[in-house]
Chain A
Amino acid sequence: MMAGAGVTAESACASCLRRSWLIARLSPNIEVSCDDRPGRRTPELLRLGDSELVEAVAPRQVDVILSENAELAEGWMRGVLADTGCWACCEHDERFPDGLGDGADAPRTLIGRGDGFPLAEITVNSAVTLVGSRRATGYGLEVARSLGREIAATGLTVVSGMALGIDGAAHRGALEGGRTVAVLACGPDRAYPVSHSRLYRQILERGLVISEVPPGTKPRRWGFPARNRIMAALSQMTVVVEAAHRSGSLITAEMAGDAGREVGAVPGQVTIGPAAGTNELIASGAALVRDARDVIDRVIGIGALPPAVSGPEIDQGLDSILDAVERGCDTVDAVADLLARDATEVAIGLARLEVLGYLDCSITGTYTRTAQPGCRRS
């Protein structure tokens, strides 16, 4: 018997497991049914009971599908879970995350993998969801990583979706600092996207991977908004780190708002597209998130985090270079042109600032400011 996260393949009752397998069986039908607007339609469908759901997405096969589902042997389902190293937990088990209990459209069963910490410890009050676009800027990635690290370091659980971009950065940061949960749109035994295979393995080892569909289920478009509603429900606050106009992360924020959770957003430059969605969220009332403190003040309480430490001391020359990078100069020559200083001198300064942790240099050689707080000079 496989065990993990304090639960086993036995921690879900047979009828709840059948519901998971029913959703997997209907996955192609739900896909067709949600074709035009998966964001709204998916939660509506998943709220339905078994027979209504089949009626809605596969009206011509209702009897066949329902009887097939009813005949699924309990032992077989548990066998599949055990063979893939997964565990399951349903709403009838006391260890089921409390966040999923209060929404009508929440899944009844979670199927998961990994043994980083007990599933029962994912409580609304101790979880924060970090989401954002897959096409992220260096700034967005840096903020996501740093938020993930610092929020996890205070003992909270960082929930995200393991997608490319912001999600991946948030998980990586959280792995450096503490606990993280990845919510997948496919079965929990699949690393999707494939390029995050390594991250997936790290999360299995030190965190949890959960999903509402059984092992082997392929990711489909409808699965992403469905996954988003789980992420929104699990935690007390959902923070959108970076999202363009009409990004999928905004759906997560909306779902969180609908479920009565807090919504926060990290502001970005108003002139660029990648931050249009988050800026709009702030304009419409979301909490403004600058750093982990802004999140923790709301989730745990004001003053829970000690005041920010000042970065290492730097002299006037380095400070002006740092300032130039903050103004958007991302190459040596751009900084040198702005400051009218010698390029070699600027290059040396940038190298020092990078070593001191103020700057990050990408694989393409461009500089971005890290989330490390600035140095307070007297």
Chain B
Amino acid sequence: MLAETTAFTIDGISARPVRVEVDVQRGLPNFQIVGLPDTAVREARERVRAALVNCGFEFPLKRITANLAPADLRKVGPGLDLALAAALLGAAGEIPADRLDGWAFAGELALDGTLRPVRGALAMAEAARAYGNTGIVVPPANGGEAALAHGVDVRTIAGAAELRQLSEGVFPGERPVPVDLSRGSSLPDMRDLRGQDHFRRALEISAAGGHGLLVIGPPGAGKSLGARRVASILPPLGADEALEVARIASVSGGGLSAISGVRPFRAPHHTVTPAGLVGGGTPPRPGEITLAHRGVLFLDEICEFRRSSLEALREPMETGEVNIVRAGGRQTLPCAFTLVAAANPCPCGRGEEDPACDCNPAAVRRYRAVLSGALADRIDINLAVRQPGAEAMSGPPGEASAEIRGRVIAARFTMEERYGSARTNATATAAEVAGFETDADAARLLSQAHSTGRMSGRAHDRTLRVARTIADLEDAARIGEDHMAAALQMRRREA
């Protein structure tokens, strides 16, 4: 007898439908899975067999063939277990096969028949709707994220045993409550960054305008401490953005805790490979830049990163998406993130001004090559920090994140009115920059700096974008002279 149902396999950050057909015939007892399964899918045979027997079903001692269509799509991961089990029960006559029509199944089976969570449940639920399914059955742990998909009936079942209810005429499972994407989470607070008002201000401007920021200073100056707190002042995600981010978080695993309405903050270690950073592998999987989509990518010790990793960032940062082509397929993944980077002034960290620094000048040059490389073109804000004095350290805590975030949200609102949703000053095109309203004094200051300060044309536009953000934070319609001066101060200097 033949039964079929639908499951999904994850490809990049989207889910692709897989038709699961199971045929049970007389013959020597055998269980075959065909249709380009990977090892995890092939091993589903053993999990399905044990799970069904332990749930009290009769496992047919017949010749069982499971086919996964389309046959040329590589199926990965254990998420097909539940669909295989359901189709097998249908084919064996344990449950009515026609009850499976229009339903999709996702879940990994434990040997006792209970369901374990899968990666990408949200993408699967959305795909279930897109491909015209009535509903999808997911493991309880994935219920919250899957329920974020609208227009599809999402059910959770605890284990394979609940499939028996199908023969009693009811479709099993509970309807889960969607995750609240507007909930905050407790992030480290800007209050901990004492003194260093300029650094705080630079972080605020970066968060508001989406400007790339590079902070340089000796170890212990609070570079990482500050940069890690930028997450707490980022504006909340819009509804569409939140879903987009949740989809990526869901596919990359990390459980329900990874799925929230908070903008992602990713801080890969400097040993990361180019594939780990921009995505790769066969089949292609998202890298850190995609996981940082709509959030912040923090590169601590940026001068220690491999040249090849940093070079790989260039084009994705320009376009906001990355094209990964591998033998296993081709993926276009989103990666609109804000770059925040920290660096020591020289390999030993002390800086040349410090008499104790004994770095070789050639080594310092090599170390700093990153700072003037192509990536540096994406950095709008550059600042130096020093260890704050004892007074500042023992002084009152700084302004809390909540207050700063309020100003950032207001500024972002102004920007969205200017350019449309989800855009910031950092993404302003040359034509948009040329349209910024600027006071005569401010324009004069900029052209003065341009003529004396070895500034490139790109630096000129970058300065205007930052000046626009500073003006937006003060709710000023025009860029004034002080806004321009503050932006000029923060610009990256050429070597």
Asked if A and B are interacting partners, one says yes
**Contact across chains for A364 and B216 when beta carbons are under 8 A apart:** yes
With A164-B361, A332-B489, A355-B445 already in contact, the answer to whether A135 and B198 are too (CB < 8 A) is: no
Within 8 Å of chain A (Cβ to Cβ): is B429? no
Within 8 Å of chain B (Cβ to Cβ): is A351? yes
Q: How far is the CA of A134 from the CA of B359 in the complex (A)?
A: 11
Chain A residues with Cβ under 8 A from B365's Cβ? 164, 195
**Contact across chains for A195 and B362 when beta carbons are under 8 A apart:** yes
With A331-B384, A344-B201 already in contact, the answer to whether A355 and B361 are too (CB < 8 A) is: no
**Contact across chains for A363 and B386 when beta carbons are under 8 A apart:** no
Chain B residues with Cβ under 8 A from A364's Cβ? 216, 345, 351, 368, 371, 384
User: Pick the contact of A348 from B352, B360, B371, B489 — CB < 8 Å?
Assistant: B489
**Contact across chains for B493 and A365 when beta carbons are under 8 A apart:** yes
With A348-B489, A364-B345 already in contact, the answer to whether A330 and B384 are too (CB < 8 A) is: yes
With A343-B197, A354-B453, A364-B351 already in contact, the answer to whether A333 and B486 are too (CB < 8 A) is: no
Q: How far is the CB of A14 from chain B (nearest CB, A)?
A: 39
Interface residues of A in 126-181 (CB under 8 A from B): 134-135, 137-138, 164-165
With A134-B361, A346-B198, A362-B493 already in contact, the answer to whether A337 and B392 are too (CB < 8 A) is: yes
With A351-B489, A365-B493 already in contact, the answer to whether A337 and B384 are too (CB < 8 A) is: no
**Contact across chains for B353 and A330 when beta carbons are under 8 A apart:** yes
Within 8 Å of chain A (Cβ to Cβ): is B389? yes
With A137-B352, A164-B361, A337-B389 already in contact, the answer to whether A332 and B368 are too (CB < 8 A) is: no
Within 8 Å of chain B (Cβ to Cβ): is A259? no
Chain A residues with Cβ under 8 A from B195's Cβ? 333, 337
Within 8 Å of chain B (Cβ to Cβ): is A234? no
Within 8 Å of chain B (Cβ to Cβ): is A366? yes
Chain B residues with Cβ under 8 A from A225's Cβ? none
Within 8 Å of chain A (Cβ to Cβ): is B337? no
Q: How far is the CA of A357 from the CA of B448 in the complex (A)?
A: 11
Chain B residues with Cβ under 8 A from A274's Cβ? 355
Q: How far is the CA of A330 from the CA of B353 in the complex (A)?
A: 10
**Contact across chains for A331 and B198 when beta carbons are under 8 A apart:** yes
Chain A residues with Cβ under 8 A from B368's Cβ? 363-364
Within 8 Å of chain A (Cβ to Cβ): is B199? yes
Most buried by A among B198, B448, B485: B198
Q: How far is the CB of B331 from chain A (nearest CB, A)?
A: 37
Question: Interface extent on B, as a size class?
Answer: 35 or more
Within 8 Å of chain B (Cβ to Cβ): is A352? yes
Most buried by A among B372, B452, B489: B489
Within 8 Å of chain B (Cβ to Cβ): is A373? no
Q: How far is the CB of B139 from chain A (nearest CB, A)?
A: 51
Interface residues of A in 8-67 (CB under 8 A from B): none
Within 8 Å of chain B (Cβ to Cβ): is A273? yes
**Contact across chains for B453 and A347 when beta carbons are under 8 A apart:** no
**Contact across chains for B352 and A363 when beta carbons are under 8 A apart:** no
Q: How far is the CA of A366 from the CA of B486 in the complex (A)?
A: 15
**Contact across chains for A135 and B352 when beta carbons are under 8 A apart:** yes
**Contact across chains for A355 and B371 when beta carbons are under 8 A apart:** no
Nearest to A140 among chain B residues (CB) is: B352
Q: How far is the CB of B489 from chain A (nearest CB, A)?
A: 4
**Contact across chains for B489 and A331 when beta carbons are under 8 A apart:** no
Chain A residues with Cβ under 8 A from B188's Cβ? none
Nearest to A342 among chain B residues (CB) is: B197
Within 8 Å of chain A (Cβ to Cβ): is B494? yes
Most buried by A among B195, B384, B386: B384
B247-273 toward A: CB 8 Å interface, digit per residue (1/0)? 000000000000000000000000000
Chain A residues with Cβ under 8 A from B445's Cβ? 352, 355
Interface residues of B in 418-451 (CB under 8 A from A): 445, 448-449
**Contact across chains for B495 and A363 when beta carbons are under 8 A apart:** yes
Chain A residues with Cβ under 8 A from B201's Cβ? 343-344, 347
Q: How far is the CA of A275 from the CA of B449 in the complex (A)?
A: 32
**Contact across chains for B453 and A334 when beta carbons are under 8 A apart:** no
Q: How far is the CA of A138 from the CA of B488 in the complex (A)?
A: 20
Within 8 Å of chain A (Cβ to Cβ): is B482? yes
**Contact across chains for B386 and A334 when beta carbons are under 8 A apart:** yes
Within 8 Å of chain A (Cβ to Cβ): is B397? no
Interface residues of A in 298-343 (CB under 8 A from B): 330-334, 336-337, 342-343
Interface residues of B in 187-209 (CB under 8 A from A): 195-199, 201
**Contact across chains for A366 and B353 when beta carbons are under 8 A apart:** yes
Within 8 Å of chain B (Cβ to Cβ): is A88? no
Q: How far is the CA of A348 from the CA of B449 in the complex (A)?
A: 13
Within 8 Å of chain A (Cβ to Cβ): is B388? yes
Chain B residues with Cβ under 8 A from A346's Cβ? 198
With A195-B365, A357-B452, A363-B368 already in contact, the answer to whether A137 and B382 are too (CB < 8 A) is: no
Chain A residues with Cβ under 8 A from B217's Cβ? 331
Within 8 Å of chain A (Cβ to Cβ): is B391? yes
Within 8 Å of chain B (Cβ to Cβ): is A361? yes
**Contact across chains for B382 and A351 when beta carbons are under 8 A apart:** no
Interface residues of B in 399-415 (CB under 8 A from A): none
Within 8 Å of chain A (Cβ to Cβ): is B312? no
Chain B residues with Cβ under 8 A from A361's Cβ? 493
A355-B453, A363-B494, A364-B384 known; 7 new pairs, CB 8 Å cut-off, are A164-B362, A331-B385, A333-B197, A336-B197, A344-B486, A354-B489, A364-B345
Can you identify 5 A-B contacts, CB atoms within 8 angstroms? A135-B361, A333-B199, A333-B388, A364-B368, A365-B384
Please report B residues at the A interface, Cβ cutoff 8 Å.
195-199, 201, 216-217, 345, 351-353, 355, 360-362, 365, 368, 371-372, 382-386, 388-389, 391-392, 445, 448-449, 452-453, 482, 485-486, 488-490, 492-495
Give me the 9 closest cross-chain CB pairs, A-B, nearest first. A365-B384, A343-B197, A351-B489, A332-B198, A343-B198, A348-B485, A351-B485, A273-B355, A351-B488
